[in-house]
Amino acid sequence: MLTVLELIGIAAFAASGALAAVRARLDVFGVIVLALTTALGGGIVRDILLGVRPPAALVTWPYLAVAAGTGLVVFQFHPTVAKLRRSVLLLDAIGLGLFVTAGTTTALHLGAPPYAACLVGMTTGIGGGALRDVLLREIPLVLRREIYAVAALGGAVIVALGHRLGLPAGPVTLVGAALIAGVRILALWRKWNAPVARKLDG
């Protein structure tokens, strides 16, 4: 069941990358590359940081097939997908929760200290979207808006605390992922944003 959720998260991330690529007028191969990068980039960066080689995302064909297939579907039917924007954002929130908690858990199992595992988990969840925005010449959305990074941090801390207290990993991961998804959905719904610094006069 976790695997099904993971594939849903990958599809949601791939759809967000592909939609952004269609908006930037990329060709069909560019759209697929953006779908792959957004969906799998975070996990690849995680595996590079942790020394897992080759990165799991590159050698797990269902991940690749779901991400590339989603890219192709979005390329073909993007006006419909754009109308489903709310659903994509909902799935993206679930994907974020799963990616962050899975990344944190993997790092803890490989012996990283808790604060490092939280950073790695956040990178897993945020890295793909940041790569998408850099490739499309945008300042990464995650750095600018809507309580994205802090939701990820909260869920990662819960997983690391649960690990420290010896709680069973499965339920703790689900609680962490649900917290992340819940905060993200609330932030989108209530238009919560993190504070921005006062304007510079200079």
- Alpha carbon dihedral 16, 44, 5, 78, in 10-degree steps, equals 20
Instruction: Tell the residue number behind the tokens 């339920």, with chain if given.
Output: 171
Binding of residue 198 to a copy of itself (CB under 8 A)? yes
Of 89-97, 162-170, 177-185, 188-196: span binding a copy of itself (CB under 8 A): 188-196
Q: How far apart are CA 104 and CA 40, in angstroms?
A: 16
**What is the pattern of x (binds a copy of itself, CB under 8 A) and - over residues 20-59?**
-xxxxxxxxxxx-xx---------x---xxxx-xxx--xx
**CB 53 → a copy of itself: shortest distance, Å?**
3
Coil, helix or strand at residue 92? helix
User: Among residues 158, 140, 61, which one has the least CA distance to residue 100?
Assistant: 158
The letter for the amino acid at 66 is: V
Q: Which is nearer to a copy of itself, 64 or 90 (CB)?
A: 64
Binding of residue 2 to a copy of itself (CB under 8 A)? no
Choice from 82, 87, 109, 189 touching a copy of itself (CB under 8 A): 82
**CB 89 → a copy of itself: shortest distance, Å?**
15
Q: How far apart are CA 88 and CA 103, in angstroms?
A: 22
Binding of residue 89 to a copy of itself (CB under 8 A)? no
Binding of residue 5 to a copy of itself (CB under 8 A)? no
DSSP 8-state secondary structure symbol assigned to residue 197: P
Binding of residue 109 to a copy of itself (CB under 8 A)? no
Question: Segment 116-155, which members bind a copy of itself (CB under 8 A)?
Answer: 116, 119-120, 130, 134-140, 142-145, 148-150, 153
Q: What is the sign, positive or negative, of the torsion defined by CA atoms of 24, 43, 9, 181?
A: negative
The letter for the amino acid at 79 is: P
* 128 contacts 40 by C-beta, under 8 angstroms: yes
For 108: left if phi > 0, alpha if psi spans -120 to 50, otherwise beta; the answer is: alpha
Q: Which is nearer to a copy of itself, 113 or 171 (CB)?
A: 113
- Which residues are at the interface with a copy of itself (CB under 8 A)? 21-31, 33-34, 44, 48-51, 53-55, 58-59, 61, 64, 75, 78-79, 82, 107, 110, 112-113, 115-116, 119-120, 130, 134-140, 142-145, 148-150, 153, 193-198, 200-202
